[in-house]
Amino acid sequence: EATNFAVRVAPLGPYGQVLVLAEDQTEHHRVEAVRRDFVANVSHELKTPVGALSLLAETIQDAADDPEAVTRFAGRMQHEAARLTYLVQDLITLSRIQGAEPVPTPCPVPVDEAVHDAIDRCNTTAAAKDITLVAGGVEGLQIWGDEELLVTALRNLIDNAVAYSPEHTRVVVSARPAGDSVEISVSDQGIGIPESAQERIFERFFRVDTARSRATGGTGLGLAIVKHVAAAHNGAITVWSKEGSGSTFTLRLPALGGVAVPATPDISTI
């Protein structure tokens, strides 16, 4: 990797001494490049639905005397508008979380409440595919952090699990104490993620299959949001996945008081 040094020379003292400052700008350049890429990606992602919307508006004008076509095109316009809304919402969420690193006012957060809240909000999409959302072993655990951020991260993980799974499958959300942390996992029986892509899926706008991800309504920002939620808690997000069998995402967050309270096993809900 190329290294960049910015060298500054300042006069110092009466005998012609100089002060030479050499500043390593490699990191600065890398951050700049990432920022430029992100802006270019956002512009591209915004242009696609906006382009589709203006094309559809033109088509609708031409099809004014065909009510069936008008209804069809209006439906597609709604779909593109919704995509635009999700993208803007995710961009706002991402920038808000990046501004909240580390979590400004951490509180005790009951894991079961956050898990059930996230499951409730994903139930409609899951039901449409006859996917059962199950919570197991989440009782009695508490993290030290931000409830809203935790729910946001879990919703993104559960949304993905549902989006990338076939009908009539199960998504299991479970939690366990792990030293001074709590590990919360979301497991699906879906399409899985090729090993070569597993490292990159947490990057903003990275998708394994762009067409498929767009079709499921994904913005490409979900896992980047999860990664920042983990970072804001000084935690971590990891993935285990096997193509064709499913994926498990594990979010590790600090336990309340530094020690996780062991959960009472509740086998009946698993």
Residues near ligand ADP, by CB under 6 A: 160-161, 164, 188, 190-193, 201, 206-209, 213, 218-224, 247
Q: Report the nearest approach of ligand ADP to the CB of residue 221 (Å).
A: 6
Q: Is 144 or 164 the residue whose CB approaches ligand ADP more closely?
A: 164
- Which letter does DSSP use for residue 200 in this model? T
Two structure tokens written together for 9: 């020379």
Provide the 10 A C-beta neighbour count for residue 237: 20
Query: 223 by DSSP, 3-state: which?
Result: helix
Q: Report the nearest approach of ligand ADP to the CB of residue 118 (Å).
A: 14
Q: Report the nearest approach of ligand ADP to the CB of residue 142 (Å).
A: 26
Q: Is 208 or 231 the residue whose CB approaches ligand ADP more closely?
A: 208
Listed in sequence order, the DSSP H helices in 140-268 are 147-163, 195-198, 210-215, 222-232
Angle between helices 26-62 and 67-98 (to 10 degrees): 160
Using CB positions, name the residue nearest to ligand ADP. 218
**Position 38: which residue type?**
F
Q: Is 166 or 258 the residue whose CB approaches ligand ADP more closely?
A: 166
Q: Report the nearest approach of ligand ADP to the CB of residue 180 (Å).
A: 27
Q: Is 159 or 256 the residue whose CB approaches ligand ADP more closely?
A: 159
Rg, C-alpha atoms of the chain: 23
CA of residue 224 relative to chain centroid, distance: 4
Q: Is 218 or 254 the residue whose CB approaches ligand ADP more closely?
A: 218
Q: Report the nearest approach of ligand ADP to the CB of residue 237 (Å).
A: 11
Q: Is 173 or 193 the residue whose CB approaches ligand ADP more closely?
A: 193
Q: Is 26 or 132 the residue whose CB approaches ligand ADP more closely?
A: 132
Provide the 10 A C-beta neighbour count for residue 192: 19
Q: Report the nearest approach of ligand ADP to the CB of residue 6 (Å).
A: 35
**Position 202: which residue type?**
F
One DSSP character per residue, 100-136 reads TSS-SS-EEEEHHHHHHHHHHHHHHHHHHTTPEEEEE
122-139 per-residue burial string, b: 16 or more CB within 10 A, e: under 16: beebbeeeebebebbbbb
Which residues are 253's β-sheet partners?
182
Q: Report the nearest approach of ligand ADP to the CB of residue 213 (Å).
A: 3
